[in-house]
Amino acid sequence: MVHHAPVAVSAPGKVLLAGGYLVLDREFTGLVFGLDARLHVIVQPIPTRNGVTLNEIVVQSPQFQDAVWEYGYRLTERDGGMKVTQLRVDADLKLNSNTFVETTLSYALSYMSSMAKPTITPASITILADNDYYSTPSDLANGSSTPPRFHVFGTPISKAHKTGLGSSAALVTALTAALLTYYLPKDTLDLSTELGKRHLHNLAQAAHCAAQGKVGSGFDVASAVYGSCLYRRFFPAILSNHAEPGQANFGTQIKAIVDESDEVQWDHEILKNAVKVPRGLRLVMCDVSHGSQTPGMVKQVLAWRKEKPDEANVIWGQLHKHNSGLADELKIAAECPSGEDQYSKVTEHFRSIRSLIRQMSDKSGVPIEPPEQTKLLDACEKIPGVVGGVVPGAGGYDAISVLVRDDPDSLAQLRDLLSGWRFMGGIDGEEISGRVSMLGVREEMEGVRPEKAHVYKQWLP
C-alpha cells in the first residue's frame, strides 16, 4: 500500500466589501477582500495493521460536538466517478451529515480517479477553523483569558453562530486543495502555479455549488483560492448541466469542467491588481453575534428586481458606479498618497454606497442595511480615523466592515465604542439583542496556501 506524507492547507475567509447582489449579474463586479481568518485542513494516513485493507476516509472537526464523519468510497461503473457513502460511527448515534464535506470528497476523488490512476488510500482528515469564523465566547471577548489558537466551542456546528466570513467556501477550497496535494504528485498538479490554482478554482466552484444546491456567483470560492480581488462571475450554465456523482459519465464531465475542454470554457474574471489597501489603513470586522438567512434575502431582492426592473436597475447602475469608484480610489491612495485628505473620495463612495443600499432595502423590503446597523455604522464613522464602513455582502445582521486608520488610538476608540454598544434588532418579528465585538481579522491579500503539517500536531487524532 502507498503511504502518502501528511499535508496541511489553509484558505482565507472573505468579505464582499462592495458588490452585494450586483455580483450575481455578469454585467457587474464585486470587490472582495480575503481575510486572515483561515480554515485549515490536515490530511494524514490512517494507520492499519498488515493484511488489513480499508476503503475509508475519516473527517473530524474537534472544535465542535459530534463532529466526526466516516465515509466509504468506491469507483462506480459507467464512468460515474467515485461514490462516497457516509458510514455510521456508532450504532447508538444518529447519522450526522455534513453536505459540504461529503460533496467535496465526491467531486475531488472523482476528478482524481479520472486521471492516470492515482492511488486513493484511507485517510484521516482534520478540519480546524480560526476562532473568528464564529461569534466569540464572552470570556474570550472580554479578555479574561488568553484565546487558544483553535477554541473548542462545545456545541454542534449547527448551533454555532457564524460571523459571515465564508466558512463553507473556505472549507471546500481548503479541503479540495488538501486532497489534491495529498493524493496527486506535484508534476500532475502543482497548486503553486497559475494553472494549478485555476484547476483548484474550477473544482472547488463545482463542489461548492453542488453542496449548496445552486449555482451561486462564486466570489467566495474565488477569494478563498486567490485572496483579495475584483471579481466577475462565470456563466452559470458551466455548472448547471452535468451529471451527479455516481451517474454515468460524471467522471469525464467533471474532468472537462476542471481542465477546461473545448466544450467547457470558464469566463469569469479575477483581477488581483485592481485591489489594494493603502498603507496605514486596515479592514476591521465587527460582529453583532447574530446571523442572517442570506439565500432568502437574495431571493426576495431578485424578485423585486424582476418585478420592477426599471426602478431596480437605476439603483444597480449607481451602485456599480460607486463600487468601482471605491476600488479605484483605494488603489490610487495606495499608489499615490496625497496628504491628510487622501481618503476623502473613499469616504464619499462609502456614504453613497450606503445610501443606495438603504434605498434598495426600502424598495425591496429586505433588511440589507437594517436601522440598527445604520446606527452602529453612523457611530463608527464619527470616530476619528474611520474612513468608512458598510454592511457587506448580502447585508442583514452579520458582521459589519469598517475601514480605519491602522493606529492604536483609532483602533482603541473603535474598540471602546463597540464594547459599550448594545445591539437591538428584529428578524421576522423576532426581537434580538446582544453585544458587539471587534473581530481579530483584517484584510488578507493571499489566497489558499500550503502549511506545515507538524504545526497542528496537538489538535490531531
pLDDT in tens, 392-449: 999 988 789 999 999 999 999 999 999 888 776 555 545 555 678 899 999 999 999 9
| Residue-wise DSSP of 246-267 | TSTTHHHHHHHHHHT-TT----
Query: Which residues of 91-174 form beta strands (DSSP E)?
Result: 123-129
pLDDT attached to residue 161: 82
Whose cell is 489597501? That residue is 277
Which residues, other chains included, contact 354 with Cβ-Cβ below 8 Å and sequence gap of 6+?
369, 374, 377, 390
pLDDT attached to residue 290: 58
Q: How many CB atoms lie within 10 A of CB 252?
A: 16
pLDDT attached to residue 93: 59
**Of 208, 206, 201, the residue nearest 171 (C-alpha):** 208
Stronger pLDDT, 266 or 54, i.e. the higher one: 266
CA distance 276 to 258: 29
pLDDT attached to residue 148: 87
Q: What are 111-123's pLDDT values in tens digits?
A: 999 886 667 999 9
pLDDT range class, residue 3, cuts 50, 70, 90 = low
Q: What are 339-384's pLDDT values in tens digits?
A: 667 899 999 999 999 999 999 999 999 999 999 999 999 999 999 9
**Of 124, 100, 114, the residue nearest 184 (C-alpha):** 114
pLDDT attached to residue 95: 72
Q: How far is CA 358 from the centre of its chain?
A: 25
**Of 276, 203, 272, the residue nearest 242 (C-alpha):** 203
Query: Which residues of 133-196 form beta strands (DSSP E)?
Result: none
CA distance 257 to 132: 33
Amino acid at 414: L
Q: Domains plus CATH for the chain?
A: 7-272+446-459 (3.30.230.10), 281-443 (3.30.70.890)
> How would you classify residue 117: left for phi > 0, otherwise alpha for psi between -120 and 50, otherwise beta?
left
- Paired sense of beta strands 229-232 and 7-18, if any: unpaired
CA distance 285 to 398: 10
Report whether pLDDT(43) > 70.
yes
pLDDT range class, residue 147, cuts 50, 70, 90 = confident
CB 109 within 8 A of CB 179: yes
Whose cell is 459519465? That residue is 249
pLDDT attached to residue 429: 45
Q: What are 148-168's pLDDT values in tens digits?
A: 899 999 899 988 888 889 999
Burial (CB count <10 Å: 0-12, 13-18, 19+), residue 267: exposed
pLDDT attached to residue 2: 62
